[in-house]
């Protein structure tokens, strides 16, 4: 159960950082080499997490629409606000979760994970962070739970309180 937590704490790209203004960070376009060779988005890399995730998906042969990019940017902004983690850290954790799920035969893209997990969480302070939500999701999916049921369970546990 601690696999994601231990692994994310060891990621080179998960140190403390401050987010750049969206207009500055989103103006950077990744090179072809960057798209193929960057495994984790590190603090020193001058590229917006949403741009990196979309370039990474394209390099893997996935197609994303401009609406997907807009939805990803909105989800990253919400997750950052609610969880107090940087967009870069959330992107790295989502990529790691994608890889972990692939290893156990579950297919979820990092972009979809950010959008879906962010939609499942409620207000600020209802979770211990994106890593905790990711670990909970991974455990449910690894046990064979469907994507839809796992997201429903997350909403029940971490979702808005009415």
Dump pLDDT digits (tens) for 44-95: 888 899 999 998 898 888 989 999 999 999 999 999 998 889 999 999 999 9
pLDDT at 8: 43
| 137 has pLDDT over 90 | yes
pLDDT of residue 28: 47
Reply yes or no on whether the pLDDT at 1 is more than 60: no
Could you report the per-residue pLDDT of 79-88, keeping only the tens digit for each? Answer: 999 888 999 9
In this predicted structure, the answer to whether residue 141 has a pLDDT above a threshold of 80 is yes
Three-class DSSP category at 128: coil
Q: For residue 33, what pLDDT is reported?
A: 53
Which residue from 111, 88, 65 is spatially nearest to 19, judged by alpha carbons? 88
Please tell me the distance from the alpha carbon of residue 60 to that of residue 18, in angstroms, as a whole number: 29
- 21 φ/ψ angles, rounded to the nearest 5 degrees: -55, 140
Residue 4 has pLDDT above 70, yes or no: no
Out of 15-19, 45-49, 86-90, 126-130, least confident range: 15-19
For residue 136, give Cα distances in angstroms to 49, 133, 146. 23, 5, 13
Q: Which two tokens stand for residue 55?
A: 């370039």
């Amino acid at each position: 159960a601690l696999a994601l937590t231990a692994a994310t704490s060891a990621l080179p790209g998960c140190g403390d950082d401050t987010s750049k203004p969206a207009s500055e960070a989103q103006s950077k376009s990744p090179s072809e080499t960057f798209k193929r060779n960057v495994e984790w988005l590190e603090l020193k890399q001058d590229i917006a997490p949403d741009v990196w995730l979309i370039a990474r998906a394209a390099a893997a042969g996935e197609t994303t629409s401009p609406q997907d990019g807009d939805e990803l940017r909105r989800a990253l902004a919400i997750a950052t606000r609610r969880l107090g983690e940087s967009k870069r850290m959330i992107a790295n954790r989502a990529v790691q979760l994608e890889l972990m799920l692939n290893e156990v035969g579950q297919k979820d893209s990092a972009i979809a994970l950010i959008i879906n997990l962010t939609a499942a969480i409620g207000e600020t302070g209802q979770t211990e962070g994106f890593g905790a939500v990711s670990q909970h999701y991974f455990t449910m999916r690894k046990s064979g739970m469907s994507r839809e049921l796992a997201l429903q369970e997350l909403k029940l546990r971490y979702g808005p309180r009415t």
